[in-house]
Amino acid sequence: MQPLNELSLTEARAALDNGTITSEQLTKDCVTKAKGLNGSLNALIELYETEALTQARDADERRKQGNSAGVLDGIPLVLKDNILNQGHVVSAGSKMLANHISASDATVTHKLKNQGAIILGRANMDEFAMGSSNERSAYGPTRHPRDPERVPGGSSGGSAVAVAADFTIAALGSDTGGSIRQPAAFCGIVGFKPTFGRVSRSGLIAMASSLDQIGPMTKTVKDAAILFDAIQGPDVLDQTTAKTTPFIAAWKKDLKGVRIGLPRQAWGEGMQPGVRTRVTEAIDVLKNLGAEIIEIDLPYVEEALAVYYVLMPCEVSANLSRLDGMRYGLRLENLPLFETYAQSRAAGFGPEVKRRILLGTYALSRGYYEAYYLQAKKVQTLIRKAYVKAFETVDVLLTPTAPTTAFKIGEKTADPLTMYLEDIFTVGVNVAGLPAISVPCGNSPDNGLPVGLHLTARAFDEANLLAIADCYEMASK
C-alpha cells in the first residue's frame, strides 16, 4: 500500500472525502517520514507533531459531523519560516529573529486555518529569503532529497524538500526573484508564483516589498491551483492586493490555439546541456499537444538581473533597518548606544544579508541614488513594456527555470555573482510582477537530477497558465 504521505493534495482530498483514510492517519505518516529523514536533510526547523495530530483529530471529527471546514480540511501543510503563525517562533532563518514569537497569523495562514489545514511545521530557508541555495540559514543548510551533497535551491529550499521528500502534502514558499520556482525545479516538484497583488503579503516577513509574493509548492499543477485558490484574493491589510476577477480553473485537454513564445535571448551560453535537452523535449511535447511554438525577441533579459540586484538590495536595506537591536530583533545587552546598534546587527545578520544591506544602502545614498536606484526603476519600466509587447503575439513564454541542475553544497558560495546568475530566467517575472510556474520536465541525462520547465503568463492570467502547465504535465507522465 502506498504510504499516505506520498499522496498528492488532490488524491488526499479525494481519499478523505470518501472515507478510505483519516486525517490522523495522513498526518501520522507525514510526521513519521519527517522525523525519520529531517535529521539528514534539515528541511524543517520545527515540527509541530503534537499540535498537528490534535488538529487532525479535530478535522476527522468535523468530517464525521458533516461540518468540513473547506477543501483543505485535514490536509497537512508546511509554512516557510518567514510566514507568520500565531504563537509560534517565526525567524526568517535568522539569528536576528531567533526568539520572535508571532503575535498574529499572516493572512495566508489565517485563510489556511479557516479551511481546516493542518500546519505541520516551519521550513528552513535562506536567511531573510536571500539566497538561491538554502545554504544561508542560521539553522544550517538544507540538503537535496536525492543527493545530500547538493543544494535544494533557495530561498524556499526547506519547503521544496519537505514536499519532494513527502514530509508534507504541500507547502507555501515566498518568491522575490525565483525563490519558489528555482528550488521547485531543483527538487522535481511544482512551484507557482502568482501575479504580484494576487496573494496578500500581510504577515510575510518582508525582503523586498515590491517583489515578494507568496505561492504554492506542490506535487502536481492541480494541487498548486487548489492551494493558490485557498490563499488568493484582496486583503484590507495589504493595499497592494488587487481587486480582480475571481480565479476559476479552466483545464484543457489539448493546447490547440495556444501560442508559446521562446525568447531568443534565453537560449545562449551558460545552460547545461542536460537542461537544454530536457526543455527541448518538453517543447516537442507541447507541439504534439497542438501548441504553436513561436521564437520571439524579449529585450532586457540580462538587464532584468541587473535591475533586480539594484532594486532588491535597496528595499532590503530599508526593510531591515527596523531590526536594529532597539526596536526589533536581537539585542546585545550592557552596551553603549552606538555599540548596541552596531554589535547587535553584526551578531544577528549573516554575511549575505550584510552584503545586500550594504549594497542597498550604497545605491540609495546621496550622489548614487540617481545613478543606481532611479536608473533601475526606469529600466524596470522598459522590462514591463517588453513583456506587454511579447504577450501581443503569444499566450505564455517558455524557458528553463534555471540554467543548471542542483549544484554541490559550497560550490558557489565563494562567488556571489555566480550564485546570482542562477536567477537569470526567473527574476524578470518578479521585476514585471507577472505569474509564472515551474513544472518538472524530467531528469538531466548529465547527472540524473531534476530539470524545471518555466512558463510565464500575462498579469492575472493564472487560470490559463495553470491550464497549460497541467496539460503538459498530464502528457509528459
Residues catalogued as catalytic: 80, 155, 179
Angstrom distance (rounded) from CA 210 to CA 6: 36
Rounded to 10°, the helix 301-319/351-364 angle is: 100
83 φ, ψ (degrees, to nearest 5): -110, 120
3-state secondary structure of 91: coil
Burial 394-430 (b: 16+ CB within 10 A, else e): bbbbbbbbbbbbbbebebbbeebeebbbbbbbbbbbb
Q: What is the DSSP letter of 238?
A: B
Contacts of 444 (CB under 8 A, 6+ apart): 272, 274, 275, 277, 278, 405, 450, 451
**For cell 530561498, what's the residue?**
155
CA–CA distance, 121 with 44 (Å, rounded to integer):
7
Closest CA to 138 of 181, 82, 183, 88: 82
Contact 183, 173 (CB under 8 A): yes
CA-to-CA dists, residue 172 to 159, 162, 239, 456, angstroms: 7, 10, 21, 19
Nearest to 210 by CA among 415, 425, 384, 407: 384
Three cell numbers at 36? Answer: 525519520
Sequence-ordered strand ranges (E) for 227-328:
259-263, 292-296
Q: What is the DSSP string of 116-171?
A: T-EEEEEE--SGGG--SSS---TT-----SS-TTB---SSSHHHHHHHHTTSSSEE
> Is the Cα dihedral 55, 59, 61, 67 positive or negative?
positive
Helix axes 462-476, 273-288, angle to 10 degrees: 100
- Enclosing H/E stretch for 49: helix 49-64
CA 147 to chain centre: 21
Instruction: State the distance between the two ends of the chain, measured CA to CA, in whole angstroms.
Output: 21
Which run of H or E residues covers position 192? strand 190-193
